[in-house]
A and B are shown apart, each in its own frame.
Chain A
Amino acid sequence: AQSVSQHNHHVILSEAASLELGCNYSYGGTVNLFWYVQYPGQHLQLLLKYFSGDPLVKGIKGFEAEFIKSKFSFNLRKPSVQWSDTAEYFCAVNNNAGNMLTFGGGTRLMVKP
């Protein structure tokens, strides 16, 4: 079975600081990887996704993520965060044989103005 770990449960940053949120998954085969954001009281929105090709993927709102197959990681980055990035961030994985998205436990990001 696939699983996803997000080691940072809570992250507090000041505006303009750089962000990196860790995501590791466990599955030996081909995977599709996703990052979702959930703003307070809202539903999940897709930030970016990786299926194949260039392991560095760029998403919306200035976010990017790098797939490192050897480390089973898909960390999310943003060079300079804004107060409006305050939200919960979820990493998710789906393997080609499976029928569902498996989510990590989420990382709550708070950006101080």
Chain B
Amino acid sequence: DTAVSQTPKYLVTQMGNDKSIKCEQNLGHDTMYWYKQDSKKFLKIMFSYNNKELIINETVPNRFSPKSPDKAHLNLHINSLELGDSAVYFCASSQDRVVWFFGPGTRLTVL
């Protein structure tokens, strides 16, 4: 069974559209994250949720809105997509900040 899964794996869309990426973890971890990996492979934290509560919100445009319906899911909704949003988005989960699992990534391409 996949520990952290993301859908879709690839997402190609036009500028201005709204899209969502879903993430699920079956590890029972309390904390989930979204990371963005840009074209230079730099990984940067975007959001973190602990038991459905937002605990980290880095300097991310408010077009990005995470939603955690329960502690096993953390979805990312992006409004009015821009070219600069093209990246690979990784979901991750953690338990007590010592065990970390990453999802397979979602490659978003904005045309």
Contacts and interface: CB of A to CB of B under 8 A. Distances in A.
Contacts of A36: 102
Interface in B77-111: 90, 92, 94, 97-98, 100, 102-105
Interface in A87-113: 88, 90, 94, 96, 98-103, 105-106, 108
Interface in A65-104: 88, 90, 94, 96, 98-103
A20 B92 CA distance: 27
Contact of A43 (B41, B42, B98, B102): B102
Contacts of A51: 98
Interface centre among B41, B56, B104 (most CB of A within 10 A): B41
A32 B98 contact: yes
Contacts of A32: 97-98
Interface in A18-76: 32, 34, 36, 38, 42-44, 46, 49, 51
Contact of A100 (B40, B42, B45): B45
B68 interface: no
> Interface centre among B44, B100, B104, by most A CB within 10 Å?
B100
Interface residues of B, number: 23
Nearest to B102: A44
Contacts of A103: 35, 42-44
Contact of A99 (B40, B41, B42, B55): B55
Nearest to A32: B98
B90 A44 contact: yes
Interface of A: 32, 34, 36, 38, 42-44, 46, 49, 51, 88, 90, 94, 96, 98-103, 105-106, 108
30 contacts: A34-B100, A42-B104, A43-B102, A43-B104, A43-B105, A44-B90, A44-B102, A46-B100, A49-B98, A90-B43, A94-B98, A96-B97, A98-B97, A99-B31, A99-B48, A99-B50, A99-B55, A99-B56, A100-B45, A101-B45, A101-B92, A101-B94, A101-B100, A102-B45, A103-B42, A103-B43, A105-B40, A105-B41, A106-B42, A106-B43
